[in-house]
Amino acid sequence: MQTETFALLVKDHEMVKGIIEDLLETSPSAKKTRLELLKTLKKELLDHENLEERVVYPPLESRKATRDLTLEAYQEHHVVDQLLEELESLDFKDEAWKAKLTVLQENLLHHVQEEEKELFPKAEKALSKDQLKTMEQQIAQAKA
């Protein structure tokens, strides 16, 4: 059973998935809506990545049980950042825009599933209760 340590990150995952779903439902002519949703998505993703890369990943990178997944997670963040930049530079009416957004969604779903089903559970075994509690407090503080 997953502790509360990563609950706020899981909540972020759900919010971001919802924003992407909202974006996918927009039409190419809904430029203002797409622009606002994309701006919100980018801010939420960058804030989330920053938090994970500052608080969560460093202690996990040094543990054998979580090292490979953590290194992979950094790279997945990088891919998401590239896709966001490409989405921002494409015209909303370009048919490749929605295709690129779908690729972003698929990458994020993979990343989220790996974190929630593999990395977080392994982290809870690799770290002490005190380390997990400290991490939970740092996550909550960063989100506040």
Nearest to 41 by CA among 7, 93, 84, 89: 84
Domain locations in the chain?
Answer: 4-143
Instruction: Report pLDDT for 1.
Output: 40
Tell whether domain 4-143 is in CATH 1.20.120.520: yes
With CA atoms as reference, report the closest residue to 66 among 135, 32, 114, 24: 114
pLDDT in tens, the chain (144 residues): 456 899 999 999 999 999 999 999 999 999 999 999 999 999 999 999 999 999 999 999 999 999 999 999 999 999 999 999 999 999 998 989 999 999 999 999 999 999 999 999 999 999 999 999 999 999 999 998
Which pLDDT score, from 0 to 100, does residue 85 have?
96
